[in-house]
Structure 1
Amino acid sequence: MFNEQTVTENGIIDRLKGLSGVKWTYCHGESLPKQAQDIFVDEWLKDALCSLNPDIAKQPDYADEVIYKLRGVVLEARHTGLVKANENFHEWLMAEKTLPFGENGDHITINLIDFDNIDNNHFVVSQQVHYIAATEVYFDIVLYVNGIPLVVGEVKTATRPSVTWQDGAADFMGGKKHYWKNVEPYFVSNLLCFASEGKTFAYGAINARVKDWGPWHNTDLRDDILPGLASVLDSCEGLLNPQTLLQLLESFALFSTVKTGKNTPPKRIKILPRYPQFEAAKQIVERVRKGYPKKGLIWHFQGSGKSLLMLYAAKMLRADNDLKNPTVLIVVDRRDLDSQINETFGGADVKNLIKVQSCRKLGEHIEQDSRGILITTIFKFKDVEIDDKNPNGLNSRDNIIVLVDEAHRTQEGGLGEKMRWALPKAHFYGLTGTPISGIDRNTFKLFGAEEDPGRYMNRYSYKQSIRDGATNPVKFEPRLAELRVDRDAINQEFEQLAQENNLDEEEKAALSKRAGKLAVMLKAPKRMAAVSADIAEHFTSHVKPKKMKGMVVVYDRDACVQMYYLLGEKLGFDAVEVVMNVDQAPVKALEGDKKDKVNKDWRKWHDELELPIQQADFERWQHIDAEDQVQKDLIECFKDPKHPLQLIIVTAKLLTGFDAPICYCMYLDKPLRDHTLLQAMCRTNRLYETDDVRKDMGLIIDYLGVFENLRTALAYNPEEIDGVVEGIEAFKELLPAQLKKCLDFFPSVDRTLEGFEGIMAAQECLPTNEKRDEFAASFGVLSKLWSAINPDPFLSPFRNDYKWLAQIYESVRPVGQTGALVWAALGPETIKMIHEHTDINRIRDDIDELIMDEHAIFTLTDKEQEQRAKRLEIDLMGRLRGHTDPKFVELGERLEKLRQDYEAGVIKAIDWLKGLLDAAKDTVQAERETGEHVVTEEDNKQALTKLFLETRPETTPKLIGDVVDQIDKIVKATRFEGWQNSNSGPREIQKALLVTLAQFGLGKDKELFNKAYEYIKGHY
C-alpha cells in the first residue's frame, strides 16, 4: 500500500536515523513522554538544562522555573503575534537570557542548546505527534532538540499527480488545518517547517508565503534536478542534519521589519537563508578565519538575495570571537544600492551598524579604527590621497573584511586602487549578480582567487535561480518595428559604447554628444508620441489587469520629461512619476534667495534644454532626487498595490538596487549593454505574490531591438547567459501544440455546443481525478503561454478554443488548496475574458429553470434527470468557489473528502448521505452568519439537493439520490414560517420525515433521522 506514511514519511525518518556523525534518535509520537497538550518534552528539556548549566545541576528545581518561563513566552503569542513570540523564544535559544540562579543570587546565562559541542545535545525525530490547542492535530514529522520542537514537517502522498509540496505547505498557512493559526503555540519555538510529497521538497519560516519557501540543494548541482524520493532524501540530509540546523539557528535565523505599503504599518517577519546564501556566507567566514586566500569572487544571479548574503556574512564575522572584534566594510557602487543595503541591514536591527555619510567621515572611521559594520559607496574613497611611501595605508589591521557589492568597473579604476591602498591587509570579497565578461577582465584579478576553480569562490547561475524558484524568468517582446531608428546608427553607437569600457560622467556626456544623431532619432516628437501611446495601450490591456506595475526606461532626462507628460495625459498624472538626477540640491523652503535659485534652475532646464516643464514638477523631481526619504516614500508608493502610482519613468536611476517585486513589465527605449542591461532587465524578475496575484515571469517590451542580437547586447560567455532572456516569439511557437494537447482530452466533443451541453460532454471525458489532474497540468502550461502573449493579435484564431477550455477547467477545478501547483487559479485576464462572454452568464441564469419542483420530478425521464443534475453541478461548483469566507473553503474541502472517502470505499453510501446532511445544515448556517449569500425560497427548497449533486460520486446508488430528493420536498411541502415554535409544526415535519425514510427502508436509522431533521429545522 503506497501512502504518505509508508513512502515519504518513513523514508525521511529512515534517512535521518542513518546519518553519519551526530544522529537523530527515533521515538514514535505515541511513545513521547508528554501529554497531548504539551509542547515541550519536559523530561528531556530538564535533563538538558541540568547538563548544560552547572548551577541548575546543583539545584534541579531551577529547571522547572526555566520551563515555566518558556511556557510564559509561548503564552505571549496570543498578544504579540506568532513572529514576535518566536523572536522572543529565539533569544532564549541563543542564550541571551539570564536568571538569578548563581551564588548569592547572581544572574547566570541560561543555556538551552550547546552550539560549540553538538554531541552534548539530545536529537530526536518523531512521527504522528499528537497535539491539542484550539484544535487537535497530528504532525507528520517533528524534530526535537533537547525536548524543544524546532522543526515540523508535513508530507503528502506521492501517487496523486496534482498533489505537491505546496499542499503540505498549505497545511501550515491556511485551509482547514492552518497550523500557524489553529495550533499557534506549538510554533513559538519553531526554527523552520518543511513539506514534501515524496517528489519535491521545500522549507519555510513561520508565516512565510508560498513564494518564500524554497528547495535545499547545493550550488555544485548545475543541471536540472529530477524529482523523486532520492532528491527529497538528499535535501533532508542536507538541511535537517543536526550541524546544519544548529548553524541556521545560531547564525541565519533573522527577524526583520518590512513595509507592506505606504499607508500600512510595518510588519515583523522571520527570514531564513536560501542555500546559496548559507553556503557563500559560511565560505567567507571560513576563509577569513583561515587567513588565506584573502579574497574571493561570488557570482549569484540578479535577484537571488546578495544583500541578505552580505548581512549573514557580516553578522557571522562580527560574532566570531576568534576574529577579535573585526571591522566589516560593505561597499556599493551606487546610491540606490547604498539605500537598499541600509534598508536590509537596518530592518534586521543589526548591532554596531555605521552608515558612513561622507568621504571625510569614511577616512575618519578607518583611521580611528572604528569597529562594527560600515556601509559606504565606493565614491566616498575619492578623497583618499595615496601615499606611496606609506605601505600601511590608513589602517593595516588584518581583521578588516571588505564586501563589495556589484564588483564591476568602479573597482578596477582609481577608486578601487585607493580602497586597496587605504586597507592594505584587508580581506576583499566581490559579489556580483552578472557574469564577468571580457571588458571586466580585471575583476577576476582583483577578487578571484587563483585557488578557486574558474576564479569563482561560489557561483549560483541564472538557470539555478529559475529552477529553484528564487527568481522569475524574464521574457522580451519586440514592438513597433516601424518606429525603430536606423539600424546602422544604433550599431555604431553600440560599438562605440563597448569600446569606451570605463566611463565616468564626463565621458558619458561626451559620448552623448557624439551620439547626437541617435538622440535626435529616438526623441523625435512623432516617435515619442507613438511609443507613449503603445505603452499606455499595452499597460492598460496587459499589465494593469494582472494587478502589477511597470517601469519605462528612456534615453535621457529630456526623454523622461517628454514621456511623463505624454503618459500622464493618457493614464492620469497620479499614475506616473519620474525618478532622475536633477543635479541640484533640494529646496525645502521657497523663500528669499532659495526661491530665486529654484526659479533659476527651473528656467535653465526650461529654456536651455528646451523642456516644456512645469515648475511644480521640477521642484518635486528635485526633492525626489536629493532627499533619500522622499525617494524611499515614492518607492513604497510604487510597491503598494493599492496606490495609484503605476509607472516609474527613469533613464539611469533605479536600474540597479531597486527591488520592487510588483514590477512586472519594463518598457525599454534606451540602448543598454552588458551588465547594465542585465541588471536593468532583472528589475522585473523578483518573485511577487498576494492573495489573488502570483507573478510567473517578468516582461521587457523592447522598442529598440536591443535583444535581437543577444551576443552583441550581452558580451558574455554564451553558456553563462544561455536562456537568460527569451523572446515571446518562442511562446508563439509553442502555443498551438499546447492548445492541441489540451483539446485532445476531448476527442469527440462538439465545441460549437453552447452553454451546458458542451461543458457536460467535456466533463464526461474527464471521469477520474487522475484524468482531471493531467488536463489541469496541460492547461496550466497553456494558460501561462496565453497570459504571456496576450493581447497580441496572434491569439485571435485560438481565442474561442482557449475560452472553451478555460470554462471546462473552471467547471472541474476542486475547491480549496488541493493541488496548489497544478490546479492554480486562472489569471485575471482569462477570468475577464470568460466573463465578457455570455456562456457563463447563461449558465448562471439557467439555474432558475433547472429547479425541480415536486411535480416536475415525476415527469422527467432518468436521462432528463441526469442532464438537469449535471447542469446544477456545473453551476454549484462555481457558486461554492465564489465564496470568500474561509468557512466555505473548509466546507468545500469537507465535501471533497466525503466524496473521496466514498469512492475509495472507506464509507458506505448511507454514511456519505449523513455527512452530506451535516454539511448542508452547516452551509445554511454559514451563509446566514457571513451574509455572503441571501437564502432565497428556491435555495430553501434545494440546498441539500445542490450539495448532493455537487459532491456525489459517480457510483452513488439511485436510492441515495431519491432520499435526498424526498427530504428537500418535505422542506417545501410542509414548512411554514415559525413552524419550529408552533405546537403542530415539529410533529408534522417529523411525521413526514419518518414516513419518507420508511418508504426506503431507513425508518429505523435514528442517526439518519436526527441529522435530516436538524437540516430541515435550519431552513426558515
Structure 2
Amino acid sequence: KWKEDEQDDSMLQLDKYLLKMCDKKRFLEILYDFVLFDGGTKKLPRPHQYFGIKAAQEHVRRREGGIIWHTHGSGKSLIMVWLAKWILENNPNARAVILTDRIELDKQIERVFHEAGEKEIKRTTSGKELMEQLNNPLPRLLCSLIHKFGARNVDNFDAYIRELESGPNNTVGELFVFVDECHRTESGKMHRAMKAILKNAVFIGFTGTPLLKKDKQTSLQVFGKYIHKYKFNEAVEDGVVLDLLYEARDIDQRITSPEKIDEWFGESTKGSNDYQIRELKSKWGTMQHVLSSKTRSEKIIKDIIYDFKIKPRLSSSFGNAILVAGSIYEAARYYEMFQSTPLKGKCALITSYNPATRDITTEDTGENTETGKEYVYNIYSELLEDISPEPGKSKSETYEDKAKTKFIKEPTNMKLLIVVDKLLVGFDAPPCTFMYIDKRMQDHGLFQAICRVNRLDTEDKDFGYIVDYKDLFSKLGDAYDVYASELDSEDTENGDIGISLKDRLKKGKERLDNALEAIALVCEPVLPPKDQLAYIHYFCGNPENKQDLKDREMKRTSLYKHTVGLLRSYTNIENEMSEAGYSADEIEAIKNKVDKYLKLREEIRAASGEKLDMKTFEADMRHLIDTYIQAEDSRRIDPFGDQSLLDIMVHIGIADAIENLPEGIRSSKEAVAETIENNVRSRIIKDHLIDPAYFDEMSALLSEIIRERKANAVSYEEYLKMITELAKRVMNLTRDDLPAGIQTNAQRVLYNNLGKNEDLAILTDTAIRNSRRADWRGNIPSENEIKHAIFEVLKDKAEVERIFQIVKQQNEY
C-alpha cells in the first residue's frame, strides 16, 4: 500500500493516494525514472523505495552523502539501480561506483544491474584494475570489492591515510560511491582509505541493519546522517518481508524426552495397522536408549529430520532450510551424517573450501589438527569427485553454484544447505523457510543471517522460522532481542529500532485461535440445524435457481481458503499444543473442529462439482490432507482418481457415484440429490457458451426434474434414472433429431443457435471456414474478416456478434 502524509485524514485514504500518485508531474516521473525490467519482469518501486530514492536525489543535488537504512529483503539492490540510472542520466559528468565487502555481494550487484538492462557495468578484479578504470573517463558504471582500496598490514595506519590524502587526485569525473553493508568493514579502516583515495567523491552508504552506538561516529565521518529509514517492523507490517518466529531448543531435552518420542511415534504410525504399530512399539525403547547416547551433532540431525517430517512447509515440495555450523570441520561432519538420512542427495555443503594437498601436509594445533584437516579434505574430495568445473570456476565453485540454483528454483530437490559464513548475507532464496543455528553469532551478523528466511514466497510460507541451538537471543518481555550491543537510536523516533523476534509457540497459538474464529464466522450464517443439507444450501444455493451456484462461488472460495489457513495453523503446533498453553480438553476440541471443517470442505467441493485449483490458493493442501486427515477420510483415495461425479455417473454408474460421495452427503437422499443437481448445473454453466441453445434446453430439463423431485411426483429410484439420463446428455452433446446435412460438431452448434435452420447453419459454417486464417483468435483484423463473412450470410450486426462469441469456442475453427 502507498504511504504518504499519513496524518492527513481530510479525505478517504484511497482518494488521497490516487490524487497524489496521479499528479501529472509525479505520474510522468514514475514512468520515466522508476520503471525497470528486472530479468524481463516490469517493476515499479514500492513506496519506501520511491521515497528513499527521492530523498537520496536531494542529497545528490547538494553533493552530500548519507546512509539509507532499509531492512534486509526490502529491495536495496533495486534502489541502487534506480538511483545510479537517475544520476548518470541527469549528470553527463557523473560516474557511479558500487562497492561491497564480499565476493558474493559483488557478483549479486553485477547480476542485478545486468538483469535491469545495465549491461555496461564493469566489475573489477584487482586494486590495480580498479584504479586504472577510475583514472579513465569510461566506463561510467563500476562495481568492486572495498578491499581493493589500500595496502594491507600497514604498521602506521594513520600515517598511511595522511600520505593518501596528500597525494594527487587522478580520478576522472564526478564520482558517486554506493557502499553496500556500510556498517561493516574493519571498523572503518577501509572506509577511511577509500575516502582518502577518492577525495571528491560523494559517498552513500546502504545498510539493512541499524548502526551500533560504538560505530556511530565512524559512520557519520564517512557517510553522514541517515538519508532514509525503513525498519524491519515497518516492512513486516507492509507485507514486504515476513515476520520471524523464534525457538530456542535444548537439544538433549527435546530429543530424549518421552513426550517428544511419543509425538514422533504418533507421526510415524499414521496410517499403519495394529500389527505394524505393535512391531514399532517393540523397538521404541531401544531407540530411546540409542538416542540418549548419541553425540550432540547426531541429536541435532535427528531433530532437523523430525522437523522435515512434521512441519508442513518443510515436508511439502515448496520449502527448504539452512543449517549454520560453527566451522568447516563441523559443517563437513553434519554433511556426512545427513548422508544416512532421508535428506541424502537433497542437501549440500557450501563453504568455498577447495581441497588441496597442502591442507594435509602441515601440522597444526587445536581443532584443525592434521586429522581434522584430513577429514575435511577427504569429505570434499569425495564430494567433488564427479564434478566437472565450468569455465572460469573451480570444482568447488561449480558445485556450490549448482546447489544454490537448485535450492532457489527446485526446493523439492534441494532441501538443506549446510553453511558456515557463506550465504548469510545477500542470498535471496524465497523457498528458504527455516534456519537452524549452531554457531556463535551476534549483532549485525546474526540479524543479517536470520533475514535469509524472511523473503516472500508462495502463500503457504507465512513466517520465517529461527531454531537456535546456541541460546543466542535474550528475552525481553514477549519477544527476543536480536542485538546484544547497544544500538544507536538517537535519530530514530521514540528510540524504536523495531527488531525483535516473536516466540514461535506464542505466535502459533495466536494464529490458531484467529483461524478458528475466522472460519467460524464464515460458517456462522448457515441456518439451523446446521446439518449437511443446511451447509449445502448456504454454500451452493437452490439447485432450481440456475444462478445460485455461480452467485455463491465467493462463499465457497472463502470456506476453502479459511480451511487451508486453519489447517496450516493447526499443523504448525499440532504436536506442541500443551506447551503452547492449551488444556487437554481444548486440544481434543480443536482437533475435532479441524476434522469437522476438513470434512465440510470436501462435502461442499463435491456438492458444487468444483475441481479446486491447487496452485491458486493452496499450494500445500494436497500434502496436508494426505498427512493429517483422519483415516475415515483417507478412504477417499479411491479407484476413480480425479474423475468428476458426472464422469462416474455416465461411465461407471449412479450407484458407484453415490458411494464415492463423502459419508455426510451419502447418508441423506436429499443431500445426494442436491449434490448431483449442483454438479449437473455446474457443468451446464461451464459449457454454456459452447452451445447456448442446447444448454438452455438442458437447464430447463434439469429445473423440471428438480420440481418433480421436490413435489414427490417421482420415486427416488425413478429420479436417479432421470438425472443420470440428463447427465449423459449434458456430458455428450450429440442428439438424434439432426438433419442429414449437419455433419460436424461445429455445424450442429450453429444449427442449434440459428433457429434450427439447416441451410443457414451450413452457409455460415462455409463462410467461417473460407475466411479464417491461422491463429485468428485474438488477432483483431483476422477476427474482423470472419465477422464480415458471417455478416454476408446473416445481414444482422447484433446477430453476428452473438454467433461470433459461440464460434470462438469451437475447436474445429
TM interval, shorter chain, is: 0.5 to 0.7
- Looking at structure 1, the residues matched to 451 and 517 of structure 2 have their Cα atoms a distance apart, in angstroms, of 33
Is the 1:945–1:964 contact (alpha carbons within 8 Å) kept by the matching residues of 2? no
Q: 2:310 aligns with which of 529, 541, 562?
A: 541
Q: 2:569 aligns with which of 785, 805, 810?
A: 785
Q: Please give the per-residue CA displacement for 1:895-949, whole angstroms capped at 9, x wherever unaligned.
A: 8xx9xxxxxxxxxxxxxxx96963898xxxxxxxxxxxxxxxxxxxxxx799989
Q: Tell me whether 1:727 sits opposite 2:496 in the alignment.
A: no
Is the 2:609–2:679 contact (alpha carbons within 8 Å) kept by the matching residues of 1? no
- Looking at structure 2, the residues matched to 869 and 765 of structure 1 have their Cα atoms a distance apart, in angstroms, of 16
Q: Tell me whether 1:310 sits opposite 2:80 in the alignment.
A: yes
SS of the residue aligned with 1:535?
A: helix
**Matching residue of 1:281:** 53
**Matching residue of 2:323:** 552
- Looking at structure 1, the residues matched to 397 and 333 of structure 2 have their Cα atoms a distance apart, in angstroms, of 25
SS of the residue aligned with 2:17?
A: helix
Q: Counterpart of 1:407 in structure 2: which amino acid?
A: C
Q: Tell me whether 1:677 sits opposite 2:452 in the alignment.
A: no
Q: Please give the per-residue CA displacement for 1:389-434, whole angstroms capped at 9, x wherever unaligned.
A: 7445544667100111111131742111100101121111111111
- Looking at structure 2, the residues matched to 325 and 231 of structure 1 have their Cα atoms a distance apart, in angstroms, of 42
Is the 1:409–1:440 contact (alpha carbons within 8 Å) kept by the matching residues of 2? no
Q: Counterpart of 2:33 in structure 1: which amino acid?
A: S
In the TM superposition, residue 446 of structure 1 has moved relative to its aligned partner by 3.5
Structure 2 gap segments, 5+ residues each: 153-159, 256-292, 490-494, 542-551, 659-666, 743-754, 762-805
**Matching residue of 1:665:** 434
In the TM superposition, residue 627 of structure 1 has moved relative to its aligned partner by 6.2
**Matching residue of 1:383:** 151
Q: Please give the per-residue CA displacement for 1:262-319, whole angstroms capped at 9, x wherever unaligned.
A: xxxxxx332322232222223323322233xx21111111101111110111111111
TM-score (norm 2): 0.66
- Looking at structure 2, the residues matched to 306 and 864 of structure 1 have their Cα atoms a distance apart, in angstroms, of 60
In the TM superposition, residue 894 of structure 1 has moved relative to its aligned partner by 7.8
Q: Tell me whether 1:344 sits opposite 2:119 in the alignment.
A: no
- Looking at structure 2, the residues matched to 653 and 915 of structure 1 have their Cα atoms a distance apart, in angstroms, of 62
Q: Tell me whether 1:832 sits opposite 2:626 in the alignment.
A: yes
**Matching residue of 1:62:** none
**Matching residue of 2:66:** 296
SS of the residue aligned with 2:12?
A: helix
**Matching residue of 2:124:** 356
**Matching residue of 1:408:** 183
- Looking at structure 2, the residues matched to 654 and 324 of structure 1 have their Cα atoms a distance apart, in angstroms, of 37
In the TM superposition, residue 678 of structure 1 has moved relative to its aligned partner by 1.3
Q: Please give the per-residue CA displacement for 1:453-491, whole angstroms capped at 9, x wherever unaligned.
A: xx4211122233223322122222333453699xxxxxx
**Matching residue of 1:567:** 338
**Matching residue of 2:467:** 701
Q: Please give the per-residue CA displacement for 1:323-368, whole angstroms capped at 9, x wherever unaligned.
A: 3331211011222111211111122231431101012222322344
- Looking at structure 1, the residues matched to 121 and 638 of structure 2 have their Cα atoms a distance apart, in angstroms, of 61
Residues 444 and 841 of structure 1: CA distance in aligned 2, closer, same or farther (over 3 Å): same
In the TM superposition, residue 240 of structure 1 has moved relative to its aligned partner by 3.1
TM-score (norm 1): 0.53
**Matching residue of 2:28:** 246
- Looking at structure 1, the residues matched to 612 and 732 of structure 2 have their Cα atoms a distance apart, in angstroms, of 40
**Matching residue of 1:867:** 671
Is the 2:69–2:229 contact (alpha carbons within 8 Å) kept by the matching residues of 1? yes
**Matching residue of 1:120:** none
Q: Counterpart of 2:508 in structure 1: which amino acid?
A: F
**Matching residue of 1:436:** 211
Is the 2:536–2:604 contact (alpha carbons within 8 Å) kept by the matching residues of 1? yes
Residues 599 and 558 of structure 1: CA distance in aligned 2, closer, same or farther (over 3 Å): closer
Q: 1:649 aligns with which of 418, 427, 436?
A: 418
- Looking at structure 1, the residues matched to 50 and 732 of structure 2 have their Cα atoms a distance apart, in angstroms, of 69
Residues 362 and 767 of structure 1: CA distance in aligned 2, closer, same or farther (over 3 Å): same
Q: 1:458 aligns with which of 216, 223, 228?
A: 228
In the TM superposition, residue 561 of structure 1 has moved relative to its aligned partner by 0.8
**Matching residue of 2:782:** none
How many residues in Structure 1 have an aligned counterpart in Structure 2?
Answer: 640
Is the 1:402–1:428 contact (alpha carbons within 8 Å) kept by the matching residues of 2? yes
Residues 537 and 251 of structure 1: CA distance in aligned 2, closer, same or farther (over 3 Å): same
Residues 303 and 642 of structure 1: CA distance in aligned 2, closer, same or farther (over 3 Å): closer
Residues 842 and 288 of structure 1: CA distance in aligned 2, closer, same or farther (over 3 Å): closer
Deviates more, 1:811-820 or 1:764-773: 811-820
% same residue: 22
- Looking at structure 1, the residues matched to 420 and 132 of structure 2 have their Cα atoms a distance apart, in angstroms, of 35
**Matching residue of 1:476:** 246
- Looking at structure 1, the residues matched to 17 and 212 of structure 2 have their Cα atoms a distance apart, in angstroms, of 33
- Looking at structure 2, the residues matched to 948 and 649 of structure 1 have their Cα atoms a distance apart, in angstroms, of 63
Q: Tell me whether 1:803 sits opposite 2:585 in the alignment.
A: no
Q: Tell me whether 1:418 sits opposite 2:193 in the alignment.
A: yes
Is the 2:460–2:619 contact (alpha carbons within 8 Å) kept by the matching residues of 1? no
In the TM superposition, residue 370 of structure 1 has moved relative to its aligned partner by 4.5
SS of the residue aligned with 2:179?
A: strand
- Looking at structure 2, the residues matched to 316 and 1006 of structure 1 have their Cα atoms a distance apart, in angstroms, of 66
Is the 1:545–1:828 contact (alpha carbons within 8 Å) kept by the matching residues of 2? no
Is the 1:581–1:625 contact (alpha carbons within 8 Å) kept by the matching residues of 2? no
Q: Please give the per-residue CA displacement for 1:726-746, whole angstroms capped at 9, x wherever unaligned.
A: 433322255246425644766
**Matching residue of 2:375:** 611
SS of the residue aligned with 1:706?
A: coil
Q: 2:3 aligns with which of 217, 226, 234?
A: 217
Q: Please give the per-residue CA displacement for 1:591-613, whole angstroms capped at 9, x wherever unaligned.
A: xxxxx557758998762446374
In the TM superposition, residue 664 of structure 1 has moved relative to its aligned partner by 1.5
In the TM superposition, residue 831 of structure 1 has moved relative to its aligned partner by 2.8
Q: Please give the per-residue CA displacement for 1:525-558, whole angstroms capped at 9, x wherever unaligned.
A: 6110010011112123320315221111122112
Q: Please give the per-residue CA displacement for 1:817-866, whole angstroms capped at 9, x wherever unaligned.
A: 9999997676344332465633374597997799769xx9xxxxxx9652
SS of the residue aligned with 1:806?
A: helix
Residues 807 and 284 of structure 1: CA distance in aligned 2, closer, same or farther (over 3 Å): same
Deviates more, 1:729-738 or 1:844-853: 844-853
Is the 2:680–2:727 contact (alpha carbons within 8 Å) kept by the matching residues of 1? no
Residues 546 and 785 of structure 1: CA distance in aligned 2, closer, same or farther (over 3 Å): farther
- Looking at structure 1, the residues matched to 704 and 3 of structure 2 have their Cα atoms a distance apart, in angstroms, of 46
Residues 975 and 687 of structure 1: CA distance in aligned 2, closer, same or farther (over 3 Å): closer
Aligned alpha-carbon RMSD (Å) = 5.3
Q: Counterpart of 1:729 in structure 2: which amino acid?
A: K
Structure 1 gap segments, 5+ residues each: 1-214, 258-267, 450-454, 486-523, 588-595, 857-862, 881-887, 899-913, 922-943, 987-1004
Q: Please give the per-residue CA displacement for 1:204-249, whole angstroms capped at 9, x wherever unaligned.
A: xxxxxxxxxxx3334x75x9x99x9923223323333332332233
Q: 1:271 aligns with which of 40, 43, 58?
A: 43
SS of the residue aligned with 1:337?
A: helix
- Looking at structure 2, the residues matched to 704 and 296 of structure 1 have their Cα atoms a distance apart, in angstroms, of 36
Is the 1:473–1:698 contact (alpha carbons within 8 Å) kept by the matching residues of 2? yes
- Looking at structure 1, the residues matched to 340 and 411 of structure 2 have their Cα atoms a distance apart, in angstroms, of 21
